[in-house]
């Protein structure tokens, strides 16, 4: 994304929220809102009309909710990255959205600088995971029956180094931080992450993090 603006689609059924996010993001300089949608049902046409790097997706919408819309977007060829917008304390569907393929989540009342930073990070392929909030969220709703055993069985397909990288991703570390911790290059870390996604049939880093958490590795 170096030298380019990050193209964002804002999806929320509240017109005031959309207007506020658009005004704030457009003021960042290197971020541009290319479109808006008021419901999950309107996301596909918006993406067809506007090349998009990042979607800011509300969860609660009247016709197609953010979880179903996220699944639909992730099924597209070359899907954009997705960040879920949530009130957190009242919405227990956030984890489902992350499992559906969202790259991270933001609180709707997050400071503008945090939202802009998250959009930039996700567009650059980095996780948008706040360790403290993510752990609280995962611990709140994560453990379905048998999830621990299933996750460990899936991760058994990875090499020792790939498991180390998966754990580091789950800890919210950037590629540079993982590279420094494992004494390898950033390019090597990226290659490991690509192999992990391919081996496990996952869509993004957030799903790696959720799997590592379910396996009890974090």
**Structural contact between residues 107 and 118, judged by C-beta atoms closer than 8 angstroms:** no
The model carries a pTM of 0.72
Residues in the chain: 218
Rg, C-alpha atoms of the chain:
17
Q: Map residue 76 onto helix, strand or coil.
A: coil
Neighbours of 217 (CB within 10 A): 16
pLDDT digits (tens, 9 = 90+) for 138-187: 565 455 556 777 888 888 899 999 999 999 988 888 888 999 999 999 99
Q: Which of these CATH numbers, 1.10.10.10, 3.90.79.10, 1.25.40.80, 3.40.640.10, describes 145-214?
A: 1.10.10.10
What is the residue extent of each domain of the chain?
6-140, 145-214
Query: Which CATH architecture is the domain 6-140 placed in?
Result: 3-Layer(aba) Sandwich (3.40)
pLDDT digits (tens, 9 = 90+) for 75-132: 888 889 999 888 765 566 777 787 788 888 888 888 888 889 889 988 887 767 655 5
Neighbours of 130 (CB within 10 A): 18
Q: b/e string for 162-171 if b means 16 or more Cβ within 10 A?
A: bbbbbbbbbb
């Amino acid at each position: 994304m170096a030298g380019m603006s990050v193209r964002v689609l804002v999806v929320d059924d509240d017109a005031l929220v959309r207007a506020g996010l658009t005004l704030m993001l457009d003021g960042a300089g290197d971020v541009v809102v290319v479109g808006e949608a008021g419901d999950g049902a309107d996301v596909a046409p918006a993406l067809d009309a506007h090349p998009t790097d990042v979607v800011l997706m509300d969860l609660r919408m009247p016709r197609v909710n953010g979880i179903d819309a996220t699944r639909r977007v992730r099924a597209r060829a070359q899907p954009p990255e997705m960040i879920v917008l949530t009130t957190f304390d009242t919405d227990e569907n956030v984890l489902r959205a992350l499992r559906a393929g969202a790259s991270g989540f933001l609180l709707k009342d997050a400071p503008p600088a945090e939202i802009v930073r998250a959009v930039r990070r996700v567009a650059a392929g980095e996780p948008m995971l706040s360790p403290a909030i993510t752990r609280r969220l995962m611990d709140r709703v994560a453990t379905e029956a048998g999830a621990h055993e299933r996750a460990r069985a899936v991760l058994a397909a990875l090499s020792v180094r790939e498991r180390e990288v998966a754990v580091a991703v789950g800890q919210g570390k950037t590629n540079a931080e993982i590279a420094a911790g494992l004494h390898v290059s950033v390019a090597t870390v990226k290659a490991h992450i690509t192999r992990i996604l391919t081996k496990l049939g996952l869509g993004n880093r957030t799903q790696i993090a959720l799997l590592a958490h379910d396996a009890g590795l974090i």
